Amino acid sequence: AQSVTQLGSHVSVSEGALVLLRCNYSSSVPPYLFWYVQYPNQGLQLLLKYTTGATLVKGINGFEAEFKKSETSFHLTKPSAHMSDAAEYFCAVSDLGAGNMLTFGGGTRLMVKP
């Protein structure tokens, strides 16, 4: 069985500061990893994904994430936070051996202070 842990249900940063949202996963097979963003009253939007190849993945809106197999981590970063980044962020893992199961973490709400 696969699982995803997002450390910190709420993260607060100042505008212009580094954003770091943590995600650790467990999976019995090489995983596909995703970050999604959810703005208020909206569905989830794919930010970026890792499938194979380069372990540093760039996504939309200046976000990137690095797959570290030895640490079973897929942390999301952005060098400089913007007010419009305030949202809830979900890390997810897909296990090819489990049908179409996409397992989500509990989410991290990012707040950006002026």
Site residue total, other proteins (CB under 8 A): 27
Q: Residue holding tokens 């640490």?
A: 71
* Binding track, positions 68-97, relative to other proteins; x by CB under 8 A: ----------------------x-x-x-x-
Three-class DSSP labels, 31-79? CEEEEEEECCCCCEEEEEEECCCCCEEECHHHCEEEEECCCCEEEEEEC
Question: Binding to other proteins by residue 53, rule CB under 8 A?
Answer: no
CB nearer other proteins, residue 18 or residue 111: 111
Among the listed residues 14, 28, 45, 84, the single contact to other proteins using CB under 8 A = 45
Among the listed residues 7, 15, 26, 32, the single contact to other proteins using CB under 8 A = 32
How many other C-beta atoms are found inside a 10 Å radius of the C-beta of residue 39? 13
